[in-house]
Every structure is written in structure tokens, then in C-alpha cells.
Amino acid sequence: MIHDLTTMTSPEAAAAVARLRTVVLPVGSIEQHGPHLPNGTDTFAAELVARAVADRLDAVYAPLVPYGVTPIHAGHPGTVSLRRNTFEALLTDVCSELIALGVRTVVLVNWHEGNIASMNAVATDLQDRHDVTFVAAQACYVAQRLYRDDGGELTHGGGIETLAVLAHDPALVRAERAGEPTRPAGADAMDRMRRSHEVYGFITDVSELADEGWYGNPHWATSERAEAFADVVADGVVELVEGVVAARKARTDPH
């Protein structure tokens, strides 16, 4: 059962927060995903996984906004980016209100790499100022790890993202319109460079990675795989969320 903040009454929300103390928020983005996927791909993916995570954690589910920080896709129709300050102020306000309501653990389920720096800034700031534990779940990276052996790749508009949209609403996937994306010379190396955990550089325009703004193989996504998508990724996220919560609990309550 999903304890959805938007469908509960005020007394129900008060009771649910008092009992559960944990809230799960989806964090996504509205941006172009080529000719074959909707602009809301990241938001659909984040919401789908976040709802399944909230269900497993027996937590309250609260929406954020569909928008994220995505200047990398500027100029491509359908992209709507928030400025970092706007996004951070919005996330701060939403989380502060939930903390005031009695929430003690906030789990952010994100599906857009451009949001990560802002999410981390807000989470550390609020955790520092309140009696609250923040957990950041990069659901897109969890999916990347879980589907790697099966040939799934996390690329912009590629197999794993197509799978997420198939899971959300198959009518929104137009794989037949995808065509063959092309990539500029050195794009692979640029991708590894930006995603390194050690020393990395930055990409500010998606055309440095892909000529048409997307890449990968949408045809990897099948309806059979899509059926299990939310469960597979949510299970992977929850396992790690529980590890984070247990680590903090052991630190603050050693008995």
C-alpha cells in the first residue's frame, strides 16, 4: 500500500508521518530524449521506482516537481531546466516542511545525473541543521549495475531508459522512430571521463556525447523486462537504503 501524501487527508498524513517517520521523494527531469521517448522519461522512471521503494520501506510517498537541473539539454525542444538555485530552494522547502511534520528520514530517489550536486548540497545542509537522516539513491546507477550482465546500458535515451518508459506506459515508447543515432569522435571516452569517480571533467552540451542528443539501443527494452523493472530496481535501491540507515543507526544508537 502506498501512503501517498497527495491522496491522504490531513489527519491521515499526520498519523502516517507520526507512525512511519520516513518519506520517499522522486527526483527527475523534463528534457528531450530523442524522437522515440517522452520528455518526462527521467521523471517517470524516478516516480515509478520511488513509489515501489516507499511501498517496500513502508514510508510516505511525496511528490516533488517533474523538473530538474538540465542545462546539458538546453536548446532541444521539450527541455525545461530549473536553475540550480531554484531547484535547491524548492527541494529545501519541500523537505523542511516534511521535517516540520515529523519526518526523520528522507530518501531521495533520483534518475537524473544533473540533479546530483544540488541534491547532495541540500541533503547535507538540512541534515546538518535538523535531527534528520538523508539518503540519496541514484536509481539510474542502481539500474545500470543490475542490468549490466543482461546487456542493458544506461545511456541517454537508450535501453534502460526505454525500459523505464515501457514500464510506466508502453504507449509512450516509439522505438520505430528511433533510427540509428550517431556519435561524435571520442564520445565514449568523454562519457567515461564524466562518470569517473576519481578524476573527472564535465560535459555541458549533450551534442558532445551524441549528434542527435541521444544514444544507445532502445530495442534492448522488452515488455517482459519492463514488467519487472520497478521491482528489480526498487529491490536494489532498498537493499542499499537499509545499509545507509543501519550505518547511521549504529553510529547514533550503539546499543
Q: Which residues in this chain contact Zn ion in the complex, by CB under 5 A? A: 41-42, 161
Instruction: Give the nearest distance from C-beta 156 to Zn ion in angstroms.
Output: 6
**CA atoms within 13 Å, Cβ hemisphere of 30:** 11
132 versus 164: smaller Cβ distance to Zn ion: 164
134 versus 214: smaller Cβ distance to Zn ion: 214
Instruction: Give the nearest distance from C-beta 55 to Zn ion in angstroms.
Output: 23
Instruction: Give the nearest distance from C-beta 214 to Zn ion in angstroms.
Output: 9
Helix (H) or strand (E) holding 3: strand 3-4
- Closest residue to Zn ion, judged by C-beta, is 42
State the Cα–Cα distance between residues 81 and 87, nearest whole angstrom. 9
Residue with cell 542493458: 152
Dihedral pair phi/psi, residue 4, rounded to 5°? -90, 120
| C-beta neighbour count of 48 within 10 angstroms | 24
Instruction: Give the nearest distance from C-beta 112 to Zn ion in angstroms.
Output: 6
State the Cα–Cα distance between residues 44 and 38, nearest whole angstrom. 9
Residue with cell 521535517: 99
41 versus 162: smaller Cβ distance to Zn ion: 41
22 versus 110: smaller Cβ distance to Zn ion: 110
